Structure 1
């Protein structure tokens, strides 16, 4: 009975994250975006309150980036909170409520996303204008 429940749950989650086509593939045979989405889907099964993602869209092409963003949105819609480490400001603007800008391990500036439109620190201004 437990095995059937686990299989049903896996099938539902794979479908939700559009991963049914890779369900039986070896993890080293899938694309970076598929692997990233599979990791997010695995986290979804545990119904976490908080997930930390380090550069979730790094080294992905625009199509795979979109797929990863859709996966993050699924979790966000289900009430999961996130902490992102990213250099992708458009990604951050879409998903974040607050930011912390760091340089060499030091917090330079933090605040609501509106603060990014008018940064106080020169380092953040420079970063935003790159």
Structure 2
């Protein structure tokens, strides 16, 4: 039981640090493009910022969080398959985040930057568990 807690504590801490980096990338891109275009292209900006942040997050998780654990095989094809799985898993969390951002913006005139923060906090634990199992094939219960 101690090894289970230790392994998951270290790995989840890394995953959430990477998530924080990805969040800052997303927030930075959102802010930059809102300053440039205003809210006229908000949906396109949301999609671009989210996809960019998720791709960076995948790469950092690949080389740091899950390094030496689980499955990293398959060469370039395996890498692209893991990236695709990670993007799909994060799509649900990202969709929730984007919908929350748009709702808060259009209903309450609250900045998408706040909605992005709230959505990221809600999605993070689910994305961690599903990503470890489906992307890197790390069964967190068998450690």
Q: TM-score range by the shorter chain?
A: under 0.3
* TM-score of the superposed pair, with normalisation by structure 1: 0.25
Task: Name which one, 1 or 2, has greater alpha-carbon Rg.
Answer: 1
Structure holding more helix per residue? 2
Structure holding more strand per residue? 1
